[in-house]
Copies of this chain bind each other. A is one copy, B any other.
Amino acid sequence: MTKKINIGILGYGNLGKGVELAISKNEDMNLVGIFSRRDPKNIQTIFNKTKTFSLKSLEEFKEKIDVLILCGGSRNDLPLQGPKYAKEFNTVDSFDTHAKIPEYFKSIDSVAKSNKKVALISVGWDPGIFSINRVFFEALVPDGASYTFWGKGLSQGHSDAIRKVEGVKLGVQYTIPSNEVINEVRSGKRPDLPPYKRHKRECYVVLKEGADSKEVEKNIVTMPDYFADYETKVHFINEEEFTKNHNKMPHGGFVIRSANSSQEHNQVMEFSLKLDSNPEFTASVLVAYARACYRLSKSGNFGAKTVFDVAPSLVSIKTDEELRAQML
């Protein structure tokens, strides 16, 4: 092992914590420290040895950090941080507002190029690993149909929506893919169904004292955009059960393609994830791609990039010779 890759973490929520954990699992990586808007003295890290710094001091680390992993949110943090930090650092982020990716890419590409930096954007599992499978599947057998199913998993946006309903004290929402539709697709059928026919929603709610469960249920299942189109079940539970069984962030899903290589022959390709922890997995993906980001910068391949631009060998700790001998 030669020089380690020096990583900085910007932002320390669930994703930043996951990145701290993931770096400890990769022996070619060194965590320089966590940079946060909060007072660094008040940040409780997972590992005692992890250093914390004020975001204001980040500039002093320009020469000490090979890749800065941006762990902020897609709505408020990354649209500003992405272009800003691509001036001074190689960056990796998990920007996941699918519709705005082209615009986000554009806001970073020329900045990164003119400063000779690599900005690897929209890394994670969707967008990310799922996207790679969608591209491979379509390219491998073009005459067919691809499907993405999400879940079973906790949806942060839908859980937030439930918690805004009057009378709700605590609430979470799980997205559940339809097993019937999955099995249809696996069997070679190609149903033409919108997402709300391919998924169900299950809500677990703790009521505020005196709240009317019928009223709360009605306000949830009829909520436009979030629930109205979907088959939605609301379960009312007590606080003890909620705290015990609904404090995790599992997620996952499936990308499935059914396609014809000839009139007679159907080919089914499937990729799936079953994640105990959504943020820890996303963080693990970010760290593997930080390796790729570092290597792209070393080879002078600057600019904004996505997972589509990264050859598999670039994410692996193994050498090309080891990969050919052990993994092909």
Whether the pair A186, B274 counts as a contact (CB closer than 8 A) is: yes
Beyond A311-B310, A324-B306, whether A275 also contacts B267 by CB under 8 A is yes
Bound together, the chains give a CA A267 to CA B281 distance in angstroms of 7
Bound together, the chains give a CA A325 to CA B308 distance in angstroms of 12
Whether the pair A325, B139 counts as a contact (CB closer than 8 A) is: no
> Chain B interface: which of A20-28, A198-206, A212-220?
A20-28
Whether the pair B276, A267 counts as a contact (CB closer than 8 A) is: yes
Whether the pair B274, A261 counts as a contact (CB closer than 8 A) is: no
Whether the pair A315, B139 counts as a contact (CB closer than 8 A) is: yes
Near B by CB (< 8 A), chain A positions 164-187 give 186
Which residues of the partner chain B approach A267 to less than 8 Å between Cβ atoms? 273-277, 280-281, 284
Assess whether A323 is interfacial by the CB under 8 Å rule: yes
Which residues of the partner chain B approach A311 to less than 8 Å between Cβ atoms? 308-311
Beyond A271-B270, A307-B312, A316-B139, whether A265 also contacts B288 by CB under 8 A is no
Assess whether A300 is interfacial by the CB under 8 Å rule: no
> Chain B interface: which of A1-9, A32-40, A98-106?
A98-106
Bound together, the chains give a CA A102 to CA B270 distance in angstroms of 29
Which residues of the partner chain B approach A102 to less than 8 Å between Cβ atoms? 321, 324-325
Bound together, the chains give a CA A273 to CA B256 distance in angstroms of 10
Assess whether A82 is interfacial by the CB under 8 Å rule: no
Which residues of the partner chain B approach A266 to less than 8 Å between Cβ atoms? 276
Assess whether A193 is interfacial by the CB under 8 Å rule: no
Bound together, the chains give a CA A275 to CA B132 distance in angstroms of 20
Residue of B22, B101, B284, B318 near A324 (CB, 8 A) is: B101
Bound together, the chains give a CA A3 to CA B184 distance in angstroms of 39
Which residues of the partner chain B approach A325 to less than 8 Å between Cβ atoms? 101-102
Which residues of the partner chain B approach A25 to less than 8 Å between Cβ atoms? 141-143, 261
Which residues of the partner chain B approach A273 to less than 8 Å between Cβ atoms? 267-270
Assess whether A283 is interfacial by the CB under 8 Å rule: yes
A residues with a Cβ closer than 8 A to B are 18, 21-22, 25-26, 98, 101-102, 105, 122, 127, 129, 131-136, 138-143, 186, 261-262, 264-277, 280-281, 283-285, 288, 291, 306-313, 315-318, 320-321, 323-325, 327-328
